[in-house]
Structure 1
Amino acid sequence: MKKPLSDRLFFGGFLLSLVFIAMTYGIVSSWWGWFPAPQLGLAHRTYLDVSTNWKNDLGLEPTRHLVPPNDTGDVSAERGFALAPGASPQPGYTLIAGLSDDQETSEHVVRMFDATGTEVHRWPIEYDNFDPIIPPQNVMLHGMEVFEDGSIVATFDTGQAIARVDACGATMWSVRGGFHHSITRSGDGGLWTWEGDDMVRLDEETGEKTFTLSLVRDVIPANDGEQRATFDIRTIEPNEADEGLMYLYDPFHPNDVEMLRPEMADAFPMFEAGDLLFSLRELNLVAVVDPKTGILRWSQHGPWLKQHDPDFHADGTITVFDNATGTGRSLIRRVDPQTGEMSTEFAGNEVLPFYTWRRGKHQYLPNGNLLLTNAEHGRVLEVGPEGRIVWTRDMVWDANSNLIITEARHIPKSFFEQGVPRCNDGVDAQ
């Protein structure tokens, strides 16, 4: 028997209502991260990751560590070390962290080069000595600090350890935990880094944790009104260089912290020695916090986008590595936190394009040159004050790929107490 028209209309309206409710919930759950949006997002990311990197995870090819040499896809040009004619590089050594170019071992290493581009030492960083759970090929050597005795401290992306090794790679100490991104010496025997959403200080001699400042438990509750709103911006992240932005589970993505040293404090009258400069990538936020109270002394959202590596400078300014994700052009910016005055220090040019959509480091050298880490194209470069090329180095893996570079660091020639570290690694200085 055919149902009355009124029943059919009611049933149709009911179905349309269910569809409308489902669509509305889908939109709202995606926006606010309600069930099942996070679970579906995680499943999708896992599928993409496994399908892209299965060779890496089986130890066949380090796909997680490989990047194209440039944005154009043209790999015909000769790659390696190139010193510009007549250029004057900063004397000393450049340390570069990443995967080894030895395709037989594919181990994590820190390599050191002199001003002529010659490799003079390398530190093997054997992750499985610090953490027996995560396969070494599935983590990425990221943060790195070097010591006058020739030892190295290293942190790892997606890893669960931080460690100090001697000049030959033997473990001096290691600590398990969710340490990540960067690590910075404070000059007073401490190392500052992030563990999850906590800024932590470690004793550089033992690895012992001596101080913790929690972003969630200490800093956010300590700031009221407009300062509390500093942390209330919805966050987005790209999954790939050529994709758009998407909402995700990581609301802050802290990626740098360093202490204002006493010898530089007079240049920053609005801060005090011991204050902490930090970066939250997902909020496009750079800020300075009083570690004793958790109160922000200064903060600024942008104009940088997905930035890394803010640094204090002796002239009272802060420089920031602006990834400018999605724009195709990364920049080094300088800001005066007291006046708000802003300048662009380096932005590449047609001759020297410069873009890394994530990661990246910068370091100002004593002669005024700038050392840049173009992580996502596997290139380190030194440029002069006018943006002229001094030298470039591609970390070549094969004819089509470079190795991701997570950190490059310059040190003076007189840095080491006993001269250049020596081991039986085949690349010691003669």
Structure 2
Amino acid sequence: MIADLWRRSVADSDNLAEKLPKIGLFLGLLALAFAWGVATVKWKVFPHHQLVYLESGVVALSKMEVTELPHAVIELAPDETSPDPVALFGPEPAGDVILMTGGFNYRQDICPEFGCMAWVMERDGTVLHSWQYDPSALFDRDKLAGFTGEREAGNIYVQGAALDPAGHLVVTFQARNMFPYQVAVARFDWDGRLDWIRIDGSHHWPTVGDDGRVYVPMARIESDATTVAATRQKLQCKYGAVFQEGVRVISPDGAVLHEFWMDDVVRMSDAQGLAYSVRDDCDPYHVNGIALLNEAAAHRLPGARAGDLLVSLRSSSSLVVLDRDSGRIKHHIAGPMVAQHSPRVLPDGDVAVFDNLGGIDTARGTRVLKLDIVTGAPTTLFPRDADKPGGDLFSEAQGDVNFSADGSRALVAETLGGRMFEFDTATGAPIWSYRSVSDMAPFYAAEGNPVDGPAYALMHTQGAHFLSRAAFRRLTGG
């Protein structure tokens, strides 16, 4: 037995001696692969860019929406019995009606062909006027040649709408399953005819001045950026595609008057910290709203003028005031709000925002926040009572707020919750609420899947504006 064990051990040692070069080569290759992997990450040598490209593709695919319903549908609502249910919590304000932002496939009981992009309504739900337009006439594959992904009109949706004093409806469009998602801005007349459209990377909500000028966030993709706002700080955007954003000013006839790109603005204004102090270098600014300073606000800010631009930057949770002609930053507010949207200038010169994630003292975390335009001191306007309607207000993204001409009331759109609330700004008391419900049966029928009876669904609420009854009568010739 001992002899057998001896012979076996000698044989094993001989085999090991033969295998040692191969084992050494294998271990060496492992060490080289490890070293190359470290170099790939640290110094971005081959195949760093290929791996990043692959990862970005995987991430993009994971964000593709797989659904048989339009983008704006939050969920099916089988318990609803009518479109757009409303509730009134006190005396109905008599001086105005409401301009509601909708979209393709919204309220096809009113706009049967394509859905209502927007409509004017009473608080009892009665629709007084509406706009619809064929999305395939606005967008086809040739017009969307600069985009990648599923370049189809059905993937484009209405993001925001605003009415100018002459009754023109300005609409911004975004897209799902397309890159980039920022698409276009268009203007329609009161009767729904297209005045002009610009497929130019406009996005989020438009603002329209009293002179008919249109102000929209704009975006482009930059693939060769390496540092933060021309500082020595390296850009930490591993996908290599940076959203550069800014503000575009458009004349009433659709011509570009000004373009203020934020990367240029912060360098010109020596405000590079706005680009550095963000959570995502791939989206350093994320412009999502614009308002115009009134005389009261301009009077309180040294060097400001009426018509200067109040711009919301979601990435840095801040507001900046830009000179209306040069784009230079004149004032900056940050601190109380988190990932806010919808900047608004109030009659007294203070400002307000839809504060998506800063409302730590509310039930869910979203609030309408008033800010002293000089000091930035915050005051929560709504909700103030978690037990009253709207007390659970929450929209992690998007959201919109608009005020009556005297600032006494506001309309707040909880976009991702599909609800709208009107409230008293002095007390925070809810006045009126609305749930965005539309019948999807026409959509199913157009897709070749007809259903029996209505198929109600809860839809995004992108925004609403007050429209005085006097202005409505003037626009309708009544």
What is the TM-score of this pair, normalised by structure 1?
0.79
* Structure 1 residue aligned with 2:395: 356
Structure 1 residues 94, 42: CA separation in 2 closer, same or farther (over 3 Å shift)? farther
* Structure 2 residue aligned with 1:413: 469
* Structure 2 residue aligned with 1:126: 134
Q: Answer with 1 or 2: which has the greater Rg.
A: 2
> 1:116: how far off?
3.3
Pick one of 384, 396, 400 that aligns with 2:424. 384
* Structure 2 residue aligned with 1:232: 276
Distance 2:275 2:331 in 1: 13
Pick one of 69, 73, 89 that aligns with 1:66. 73
Gaps of 5+ in 2: 1-14, 145-151, 176-181, 220-244, 440-454
Residue correspondence of structure 1 range 279-428 to structure 2 within 5 A:
279-324=312-357, 328-347=364-383, 349-351=386-388, 352=390, 353-365=392-404, 366=406, 368-385=408-425, 386-397=427-438, 401-416=457-472, 418-420=474-476
* Structure 2 residue aligned with 1:255: 288
Distance 1:108 1:35 in 2: 44
* Structure 1 residue aligned with 2:265: 219
Pick one of 244, 247, 254 that aligns with 1:199. 247
Distance 1:395 1:321 in 2: 19
More displaced stretch, 281-290 vs 15-24: 15-24
Which string of whole-angstrom CA distances, capped at 9 and with x for unpartnered residues, describes residues 198-218 of structure 1?
3121112x11111222222x3
SS at match of 1:107: coil
Structure 1 residues 86, 272: CA separation in 2 closer, same or farther (over 3 Å shift)? closer
SS at match of 2:420: strand
1:146 aligned onto 2:163: yes
SS at match of 1:182: coil
* Structure 2 residue aligned with 1:101: 107
Which string of whole-angstrom CA distances, capped at 9 and with x for unpartnered residues, describes residues 260-299 of structure 1?
2446522434522332111121222211122444432222
Alignment-mate amino acid for residue 102 of structure 1: Q
Residue correspondence of structure 1 range 152-167 to structure 2 within 5 A:
152-158=169-175, 160-167=183-190
Structure 1 residues 68, 284: CA separation in 2 closer, same or farther (over 3 Å shift)? farther
Which string of whole-angstrom CA distances, capped at 9 and with x for unpartnered residues, describes residues 237-275 of structure 1?
xxxxxxxxxxx7333221112332446522434522332
Structure 1 residues 211, 27: CA separation in 2 closer, same or farther (over 3 Å shift)? same
Distance 1:263 1:303 in 2: 22
* Structure 1 residue aligned with 2:224: none
Pick one of 93, 111, 115 that aligns with 1:89. 93
Which string of whole-angstrom CA distances, capped at 9 and with x for unpartnered residues, describes residues 20-46 of structure 1?
7636855997xxxx7346534442343
Structure 1 residues 51, 195: CA separation in 2 closer, same or farther (over 3 Å shift)? closer
* Structure 2 residue aligned with 1:178: 201
Structure 1 residues 13, 302: CA separation in 2 closer, same or farther (over 3 Å shift)? farther
> 1:317: how far off?
1.4
Structure 1 residues 388, 209: CA separation in 2 closer, same or farther (over 3 Å shift)? same
SS at match of 2:277: coil
CA contact (8 A) 1:149 1:416 kept: no
Distance 1:367 1:285 in 2: 22
CA contact (8 A) 1:75 1:400 kept: yes
SS at match of 1:220: helix
SS at match of 2:95: coil
Which string of whole-angstrom CA distances, capped at 9 and with x for unpartnered residues, describes residues 68-95 of structure 1?
48xxxx9757773333353333631111
* Structure 2 residue aligned with 1:243: none
Distance 2:66 2:419 in 1: 23
Structure 1 residues 20, 310: CA separation in 2 closer, same or farther (over 3 Å shift)? farther
Structure 1 residues 90, 324: CA separation in 2 closer, same or farther (over 3 Å shift)? farther
Which string of whole-angstrom CA distances, capped at 9 and with x for unpartnered residues, describes residues 352-398 of structure 1?
31011111111122372221111112221212233332211111135
SS at match of 1:125: coil
CA contact (8 A) 2:399 2:414 kept: yes
State the percentage of identical aligned residues. 21
Structure 1 residues 172, 269: CA separation in 2 closer, same or farther (over 3 Å shift)? same
More RCO (CA 8 Å, sep 6+): 1
SS at match of 1:52: coil
Alignment-mate amino acid for residue 382 of structure 1: E
SS at match of 2:49: coil
CA contact (8 A) 2:114 2:133 kept: no
Distance 1:148 1:291 in 2: 21
> 1:145: how far off?
1.8
* Structure 1 residue aligned with 2:124: 116
SS at match of 1:187: coil
SS at match of 2:285: coil
CA contact (8 A) 1:192 1:259 kept: no
Distance 1:356 1:12 in 2: 53
Distance 2:43 2:432 in 1: 50
CA contact (8 A) 2:163 2:169 kept: yes
Structure 1 residues 107, 287: CA separation in 2 closer, same or farther (over 3 Å shift)? same
CA contact (8 A) 1:325 1:357 kept: no
CA contact (8 A) 2:370 2:378 kept: yes
SS at match of 1:235: coil
Distance 2:78 2:39 in 1: 47
What is the TM-score of this pair, normalised by structure 2?
0.72
SS at match of 2:214: strand
> 1:308: how far off?
0.6
Alignment-mate amino acid for residue 332 of structure 1: V
CA contact (8 A) 2:418 2:458 kept: yes
Distance 1:376 1:27 in 2: 40
